[in-house]
Amino acid sequence: MRKVSDIMSKDCQTVTSKDNIFECAVLMRDNDIGFVPVLEGRKLIGVITDRDLVLRGYAEKNPGSESVTTVMSKDVKTISPHLSVDEAGTIMAAEQIRRLPVVENGELVGIVSLGDLAMREIFVHEAGEALSSISSSETPSSPFIQ
């Protein structure tokens, strides 16, 4: 049984409560990410999504110089790196969460996303099936495909 620690991203971009909204937005843009954990040391105190920046930040007329704590979500669902991948998927589906911080002893050790779960499923269960159906398709799915 595969564990969350097998598929999670370990090299996470993070901010601290001393960072501001603008710096977080630049970090997201420069790293092509939409989710940033907020840490005090290595302890997770919240998360910021691109949606948080829009809804609680700029749409609420909070200037970019405001602290990230103004827009961060504080009640964050987390999981253990020892949880099975299937259990993580069940939690994400039940809670309608796209990304889950992976925490051990209160410290952030990684992030698992829907994409991580999808890659696992594709490689383990569906790669052969997907390739087979793509290869056997005789009718193009779009008028622009020849």
pLDDT of residue 145: 41
Residues whose CB is less than 8 angstroms from the CB of residue 106 and which lie 6 or more positions away in sequence, other chains included:
43, 44
Model confidence pTM above 0.95:
no
Percent of the chain at pLDDT > 90 equals 60
pLDDT of residue 138: 46
pLDDT of residue 109: 97
Domain positions in the chain: 4-135
Is 90 exceeded by the pLDDT of residue 69? yes
The structure tokens listed for 106 are 């209160």
Is 80 exceeded by the pLDDT of residue 22? yes
Give the CATH superfamily of 4-135. Answer: CBS-domain (3.10.580.10)
- C-alpha to C-alpha distance for 42 and 27, rounded to whole angstroms: 18
